[in-house]
Structure 1
Amino acid sequence: MSTSSFLPRPFPLGPIGLAAVLLSGCASVKPPGAMAAAPASAAAPAAAQAAAPAGAASGAAAARPEPGAPKPFDEVVKGATRQDGFFPVWRKDEKTWLEIPAERLGQPFLLSANIASSVGERGLYAGSMGPSWLATFRQVNRQLQLVALNAEFVARNPAMKATVAQSFSDSLLASAALASAEHPQRKSLLVDASFLIVDLPAYSTQIEAAYRLPYGLDRANSSIETVRVTPDLTTLNLRMHFATPRIPVPPLTPPPVPLPAPPATLPDARSLFAGFVYNFAALPEPPMRPREADPRLGHFTDVVTDLSDDLKVNPRTYRVNRWRLEKADPAAALSEPKQPIVFWLDRNIPPVYRQAVEEGVLEWNKAFEKIGFRNAIVAKQQPDDADWDTLDARHASIRWFTGADAGFARGPSQTDPRSGEIVDADIMMSDVFGRGARRVRVETVGALGGAAPAFATPIALPWSKAGGAQCDYAEAAAHEMGFAVDLLEARGELAPDSPEVEAFAQAVVRDTIMHEVGHALGLKHNFKASTVYTRAQLQDAEFTAKNGIAGSVMDYSPYNLALAGEKRGALVNTTIGPYDYWAIEYAYKPLEPGQEKDELQRIAARSSEPLLAYADDTDAGGYGGGEGLDPLVNRFDLGSDPLEYYRRRLALSRELWQRVQERQPQPGEDVTRQRRVLLSGFSALGVSTALVGKYVGGMQTSRDLPGASGGRPAYQPVPPAKQREALRFLADGLFAVDAFRFKPQFLASLSPDYREWTRGGPVSIPAAVLQLQTGALDRLLSPGTATRLLELPLYLPENERRGIISLDEVIGTLQKAVWSELRRGGDIEPMRRNLQREHLKRVQALLTRSAGPLPADAVSLVRLAATGLQAELQRAAARPGLAVETRAHLQDSLVLLTEALRASFVRG
């Protein structure tokens, strides 16, 4: 997405630029290597001397050049080759100069910095879009400054324009001394382009975030490799070297928070190269007419604070990010566009996937045809001998990339901040989607902890937009794929190298490209779209072939897996959904200026239609510290009843475990296959268990605007019966030991790959089970859940409060389920003891106020329940005939709980 509207701004200055900033107030000191500015009285004669033709000077004026005067333009570039264009470039041997035409000095343009090559792990991947700015070149005496203009605060009247300019600063990106006098005829300026060998995208910050090591830019071993110039674009490809003096020795005592390991993909972890692509692009003229965003739909926006007057309560305006799309024939009901949206398929896409990629791109034309555009989107293949990089600012693209830990795709774009017009987009597609579907990928399976393999989530730089820029089908998506393929292979529905697995791989790629192209067209995630179809519809092959499996491809949809013996619909989305048509209509429908406001309101007013359900990343939780309120807004759920989906997911995991235990390993197959499949079943449950807890204290949400006809309430408590149903599912399904029993001989057969130096030991089933259970415990015992349960009655009329679920009921139900052995007697199994310890840890934290801002009433209720638990532990510990492990566990738990109650009482 566009990075021009993010509040924090980087300050990636090179040595020259940094020195210029630090020393700008000191007249007696100049930046290293910079030319001293000539006195004002001498500037004009010096310029005239420099511009005079050779041999034309006479008398005193030609006696001797002014001391310190700049060299003539033509003398500096003598023997160099000029490439004419937006900013002309001169090249000679290893030298490169940038010419700044007089008419472009002080004029804004679009500057972007993309990442062409990188490390291949920990969020540092090739083909990444970086930041962009509304920028300009400024001349300050003999210094040329590259300045990022502050486009976030604007005013229309002259007085407020001056106020805004004084109140909100621009940012200096880089600077250098002029390399010569201005050109005698063109009056253009010349600067050594090496001043751009600076870290414009602040990549060193991202490297440090990945490894917690101070890698710095090494200018001496960085260079400008290639240059491409057109009338509206100048592009420089740079090879940048980052280094750190030494890799520190790991501490003898492990720190409380584990430190990330040094780079694992480099021959020498102290040194790495990254490829940068700097684009200087002409602004679209005239600027596109902005379109105001509506909160009932999800579009990426450029946010501008308009301070022209003080009448608006909220001066912020939200401009929809969209491509400029105009009919070639405005009078025609269906017309070709004047300029289509063109996506270039990079030459690095494997040929076997190019057709699926193209189909995913062109699928969106269905939505544009509904609003009068034929062939609004075009897909083109980059020739193998092309002399341009698809990361330049004039080629929207789809690029393949690989990473040692990468399992995601991303569809960012960059915009003109004056209007919200999307001017470039570069979609990244990880090969894990193809390889994962083909089962070529061999996962590094967990060690004793039983954890599933982790895929690094890309690290968000300070200016990253909420949600959109971080569209990663990361860990969860890769595990979803692994689980689906493992189950289908176990059933015999997929076989390696079969036509079926080939079709599956192509469908996965096509579905993913549809999602990312949606982002590149300006659409945010929609995490409510997966709930618009019923289970019966999802099992209908004809229905899902026509409509897909969700109301939008902008959701994170799991694979549509049927239980054994059930009918099965399409596994993945086959087409864009009804929400996608609606969102495209709002952003792109051609509208006359006088009718636009009313027509947009009419379009947005359809938000109450069931098939157009919408909610974004923040609604789903897990972003910015939020935990999400609405159990219908989730990543990786499917169907109109998410709770039923979670039950089915547990049944599917059990089926997979049963099949893998019955299957006999075959000679020559991957030695970790059985181990991987076992853990795949656990990873498939990892997301679901925490999401079940969203029902308890949950609030169904609506985005209807105030005063809308038939408007729904913004917050509606989840029905008490549904909340209790979720609690029972956790107690009977997740906390029960019988759900996770495995044959001893099967567990004993789970061999690691002994060829690897780093390999796991025996798989710990108790650890894997506990990892699932703690997610549910954390949700149910969180301060947020407690607060909502205490406040739910305030959202209901008096006559609807009967039977409402209370915080006391939730605490009591959870405690009874976790400690059920205390009432029925007998020994406690090891996995149940693990669960009880984790529950007790959380009760301790709540009593001692170390778990966050728990409401006072909640603390009192937790203490009341804990006092009852203390009495039960005392009675249970006194029973004769218990195994020594059970007796020790009960006594230890009683001591810990008593200490927590005593500490809580003293604190109170």
Structure 2
Amino acid sequence: MNTFRSNYISYMKKYCCLLLLLMVYLPFAKAQKNEDIESRTKNYKKLAGYFNFYWDEAEGKIYLEVDKFNQEFLYVNSLPAGVGSNALGLDRGKIGGSRIVKFIKSGPKVLLIQPNYDYRAVSNNADERKSVEEAFAQSVLFGFKAIVQSDDHVLIDLTPFLLRDSQNIADQLLQSDQGVYHTEESSSAVYLPNTRNFPQNSEFEAIITLAGKAKGREIRSVTPNPDLVTVRMHQSFIQLPDNNYKVRKFDPRSGFFDTEYMDFATPINDPIVKRLMIRHRLQKKDPTAAMSEPVKPIVYYVDRGAPELVQQALIEGASWWNQAFEAAGYKNAFQVKILPEDADPMDIRYNIIQWVHRSTRGWSYGEAITDPRTGEIIKGQVSLGSLRDRQDFLIAEGLVQPYEDGKPVSDKMLKLALARLRQLSAHEVGHTLGMQHNFTASVNDRASVMDYPPPVISLKADGSIDLSDAYKTEIGGWDKRAILYGYQDFAPGTDEDKALKDILNETLKQGFQYISDDDARPAGSAHPQAHLWDSGNNAADELNRLMALRKQILTNFSEKAIRQDAPMATIEEVLVPMYLIHRYQTEAASKMLGGLYYTFALKNDGQTVTRFVPPAEQWKAFDALMGTISPDALALPEKLIEKIPPRPVGYPRTQETFKSYTGLTFDPMAAAESAAGATLSFMLQPERAARLIEYNARDNSQPGLLPVLNKLVNLTWQAPQQNGYKGELQRLVNNLVLKQLLTLAANMQAAESVRSIALLQINDLKSWMLKTIPAATGSAKANLLFGLSQIKLFEDYPDKFKPAAPLNMPDGSPIGMDDPGCGM
């Protein structure tokens, strides 16, 4: 009984306590249920705009008011404060991509979902559109929990979304072997100065810290504490453009970028893949007028952080595009201004030309935020590496050699650097107008700023260097034709398809050519007129001209190329681009060997589709290439070598100086190896070798691989042996020739016909070596013995044999990236 009473009393106490708690909580719970967004956010700072959002200063949180469910908008992320390493590619201003997204609600959850615009049904039939939408996966980018709901408005905590690694920097650092990193929430926060709201776009920014264990040299070189990498990430919610933009069908001959998708509503007799041009919206106020002002001009803004001289050069170069728009009948359609002082460069409303700093000189590039539905460019974003002008200044120092005691320093270096900046600005802005590279423009009087231009250098009658025509000072003829095609606004009633075809036909009639990246960048590419950093109408003729110029430069090269009080060893930095001034023209000339002229022809457009390079032109290119690896070409003047001491303290070797086999001392043999090795690798590239065989089989007047190899061996190994320095250079080239032959024969990815002919040449060379060695002495005999030993290694271990690669040339193109995409 006592036990029962005790339990009863205990039960009643707990019941009363519970009842009391419920009495206190229920009114509170009811208040919570009835709480609206206004009362919940009354103590927060409200930022009204496209999506209203609220700043909770006490908690450091952003709350977003979602009032547009199932309404699509554009989501863009970018990197306003970067890492500073060109090799890593995580630059200030880098755009992470643009996606169409929408919010959907399910119970207490709000999802940010990305529809799949790669697959569509452009149809008025809702069921047809739905069938395609349900056939392909979508992506939920993030999930939120509804905090408060007022009618059809929902308040969510956006902070976790903003403080995540939206740029996937941790993955990029891992893939580049820099270390394993993760987002450190305690060291990340909303960056309020650039978190803003506007009627058509809501902008958010955060300080993001990635913590980990640094492993790579690149990340260590650019962070004060490489285990803690702090950047800023920007995210934008942007209202999609209206439906008044008129899409333009892509043509592969136009020189523009394209966006493509599959349209499953397409009739079966039409192509299902649709391709649209990438371009800005531009309309004439009067489309019937030959010249009209635009409804709204395209305006670009230059970075306020660029030095004044640089700002002016960037404005001038970018403004060249107005010449092209004028040729298309627009007045003041393209404008360039300084960015307003209170503007945010990441704001979607501003097309930006920004000046980006890195630890090494790097690529510049032009990107665009586009509407994935139509290809309309919403924002152009140009990033120009700030160290590029210094490299151009360095090249000019080598050419002009201006530092003479007691004489004023020439202004030619500054003029050259600024001329290059103008061209660079025009080039990268061109990408953000929708244009691709055109790597055949150099053969047509530099017809496009969308080519990669070397400085055009010549000799005056007195033997001095002439830089007066180093770079173009205006937009090119090809550029005008391309803008006419991409941006012409046709009068009502015009048959636009026919008018566009007429523009392209006239462009072809005027002799303009267009070949882009995939046909120019690969070392084994075939088009003899498509290359980066080349010049002249004929690659072989220009290489011969450039080699004669190089000889003059090297003969006169001296300490006048470096500033007063600079360490003598730093002559090497200026010497590198002079010694290798022919490097890109060499690669261009190599494409004539086993080359093929071709066009992006459409059926019945009148263009020649393909055409062999004439045999005489190929042999001329062969001779020009051999001229770059002769001992006379590779040798440096003795008086110059004597002036290059070992590197002093504080001036170590870098990516932009020659390698060395001789320890601390300057090694002219290593410099020669890097140059000659590059020429031979271009000449004996596997795809080029395969084409030589194929083209000879189809037309026996074509050179063929075996005659090329025979002549190569005859001019190197079997040529009369020289003595001294040039003799050593000759033997160095002999070894490189054999290495390339062995590499070709051992390359399992090369065509078997190529490997078999390489093997035949190696066997013939071996027989010649065995016959020659009894009479040989000294270094010549050593050269033969070493060659035979390499051949024996290959014969004994054909599957495992891999000869040592020749030394690489110092970096020429901007450091750290083999393929910049759309940059230069």
Task: Establish whether TM, by shorter chain, passes 0.5.
Answer: yes
Deviations 1:763-797 (Å, cap 9, x if unpaired)? 222222222222222233232112211221566xx
Identity %: 24
CA distance in 2, matches of 1:736, 1:426: 46
Structure 2 unmatched runs, 5+: 1-22, 655-663, 802-824
Q: Tell me if structure 1 keeps the 8 A contact 2:403–2:562.
A: no
Match of 1:652 among 517, 534, 549: 549
Q: Decide which moves more: 663-672 or 369-378.
A: 663-672
Q: Decide which moves more: 563-572 or 575-584.
A: 563-572
TM-aligned CA deviation for residue 360 of structure 1: 1.7
Q: Aligned ranges for residues 858-897 of structure 1 at < 5 Å?
A: 858-880=754-776, 882-883=777-778, 885-897=779-791
In the alignment, structure 1 residue 554 sits paired with structure 2 residue 509: no
Q: Aligned ranges for residues 758-773 of structure 1 at < 5 Å?
A: 758-759=652-653, 761-773=664-676
Q: Tell me if structure 2 keeps the 8 A contact 1:321–1:421.
A: yes
CA distance in 2, matches of 1:132, 1:747: 54
Counterparts in 2 of 1:365 and 1:854: CA distance versus 1, 3 Å: same
In the alignment, structure 1 residue 846 sits paired with structure 2 residue 764: no
Q: Tell me if structure 2 keeps the 8 A contact 1:490–1:656.
A: no
CA distance in 2, matches of 1:135, 1:299: 26
Match of 1:783 among 686, 692, 715: 686
Q: Aligned ranges for residues 114-263 of structure 1 at < 5 Å?
A: 114-121=78-85, 122=87, 123-157=89-123, 158-178=126-146, 180-184=147-151, 187-226=153-192, 227-244=195-212, 246-248=213-215, 260-263=217-220
Name the structure 2 match of 1:637.
Answer: 534
Counterparts in 2 of 1:373 and 1:826: CA distance versus 1, 3 Å: closer
CA distance in 2, matches of 1:593, 1:489: 62
Name the structure 2 match of 1:575.
Answer: 474
Deviations 1:792-837 (Å, cap 9, x if unpaired)? 1566xxxxx463212221121122222124x669899322322222
Counterpart secondary structure, 2:695: helix
- Amino acid in the other structure paired with 1:873: M
TM-aligned CA deviation for residue 297 of structure 1: 1.9
In the alignment, structure 1 residue 677 sits paired with structure 2 residue 574: yes
CA distance in 1, matches of 2:695, 2:524: 17
Deviations 1:100-155 (Å, cap 9, x if unpaired)? 443x2121111111111122112222122221111112223222222222211111
Name the structure 2 match of 1:53.
Answer: none
Counterpart secondary structure, 1:749: coil
TM-aligned CA deviation for residue 208 of structure 1: 3.0
Counterpart secondary structure, 1:214: strand
In the alignment, structure 1 residue 401 sits paired with structure 2 residue 363: no
Counterparts in 2 of 1:491 and 1:317: CA distance versus 1, 3 Å: farther
Counterparts in 2 of 1:114 and 1:233: CA distance versus 1, 3 Å: same
Deviations 1:257-296 (Å, cap 9, x if unpaired)? xx75542122211111111121111011125121011111
Deviations 1:375-411 (Å, cap 9, x if unpaired)? 1012222233x1x311111111111121111333211
CA distance in 2, matches of 1:523, 1:511: 15
TM-aligned CA deviation for residue 354 of structure 1: 2.2
Counterparts in 2 of 1:610 and 1:635: CA distance versus 1, 3 Å: farther
Counterparts in 2 of 1:873 and 1:522: CA distance versus 1, 3 Å: same
TM-aligned CA deviation for residue 855 of structure 1: 3.0
TM-aligned CA deviation for residue 171 of structure 1: 1.9
Give the structure-2-normalised TM-score.
Answer: 0.86
CA RMSD of aligned residues (A): 3.0
Name the structure 2 match of 1:724.
Answer: 619
Name the structure 2 match of 1:588.
Answer: 487
CA distance in 2, matches of 1:489, 1:661: 8
Match of 1:311 among 268, 273, 284: 268
Give the structure-1-normalised TM-score.
Answer: 0.78
Q: Tell me if structure 2 keeps the 8 A contact 1:361–1:513.
A: yes
CA distance in 2, matches of 1:812, 1:723: 15
Q: Aligned ranges for residues 781-820 of structure 1 at < 5 Å?
A: 781-793=684-696, 801=699, 803-820=701-718
CA distance in 1, matches of 2:552, 2:468: 19
Count of matched residue pairs = 756
TM-aligned CA deviation for residue 504 of structure 1: 2.9
TM-aligned CA deviation for residue 523 of structure 1: 0.7
Structure 1 unmatched runs, 5+: 1-58, 249-258, 440-481, 534-549, 796-800
Counterparts in 2 of 1:735 and 1:610: CA distance versus 1, 3 Å: farther
Counterparts in 2 of 1:753 and 1:125: CA distance versus 1, 3 Å: farther
Q: Tell me if structure 2 keeps the 8 A contact 1:515–1:554.
A: yes
CA distance in 1, matches of 2:723, 2:316: 61
Q: Tell me if structure 2 keeps the 8 A contact 1:787–1:855.
A: no
- Amino acid in the other structure paired with 2:686: P
CA distance in 2, matches of 1:583, 1:906: 51
In the alignment, structure 1 residue 755 sits paired with structure 2 residue 649: yes
Name the structure 2 match of 1:460.
Answer: none
Q: Tell me if structure 2 keeps the 8 A contact 1:847–1:900.
A: no
In the alignment, structure 1 residue 97 sits paired with structure 2 residue 65: no
Name the structure 2 match of 1:478.
Answer: none
Q: Decide which moves more: 89-98 or 522-531.
A: 89-98
Match of 2:247 among 290, 293, 308: 290
TM-aligned CA deviation for residue 612 of structure 1: 1.6
CA distance in 2, matches of 1:111, 1:496: 55
Counterparts in 2 of 1:119 and 1:655: CA distance versus 1, 3 Å: same
- Amino acid in the other structure paired with 1:558: P
Deviations 1:719-760 (Å, cap 9, x if unpaired)? 1001111111222x1221121223445323313552327447
Match of 1:834 among 710, 713, 732: 732
Counterparts in 2 of 1:214 and 1:560: CA distance versus 1, 3 Å: same
Name the structure 1 match of 2:12.
Answer: none
CA distance in 1, matches of 2:789, 2:689: 26
Counterparts in 2 of 1:181 and 1:347: CA distance versus 1, 3 Å: same
Q: Tell me if structure 1 keeps the 8 A contact 2:403–2:564.
A: no
Q: Tell me if structure 2 keeps the 8 A contact 1:371–1:589.
A: yes
